[in-house]
Amino acid sequence: MRSLSDIFDEYDFLDGDERYRLLIELGRELEEMPAPLKTDATLVRGCSAQVWVYPTGDASRLHFLADSNAAITKGIVALVIAAVQDKPAAEVAAMDVAGALAPFDLKNQLSSNRTQGVPNMIALVKEHAARIAAAA
């Protein structure tokens, strides 16, 4: 997966429709999430589309599998995952993920319908990270 800064460099260079295409491409690049992991327990609440997030790895290297049933939403999911992927759980738990995503200005680039679940997804990722860091 590309780093968030590499994604932003490309995103910043593009305009409206091209940004949508980049988000769709990022969603397609997500590591495949096996269907059995797409359960009510891994579903992110409050999203207009269905979004699932599942943590793997351990406290030293947290890894997430994620998916969505909507292409643009899946791209937004990919941005959140790019911010936290393969980092130590304690770092992710303390991280300002929303701040890391702020340069993308998603609220002004996308409809509120598409971004309404982002805070819930960030909260879920941070909760997983905090739980895994505390268990280590």
Residues classed as catalytic: 47
Let me know if 71 is exposed, middle or buried by CB neighbors in 10 A (0-12, 13-18, 19+).
Answer: middle
CA dist 134 → 26, 47, 56, 60, 131 (Å): 31, 28, 15, 12, 5
Buried b (16+ CB within 10 A) or exposed e, 50-62: ebbbbbeeeeeeb
User: Which residue is associated with the tokens 């999911």?
Assistant: 77
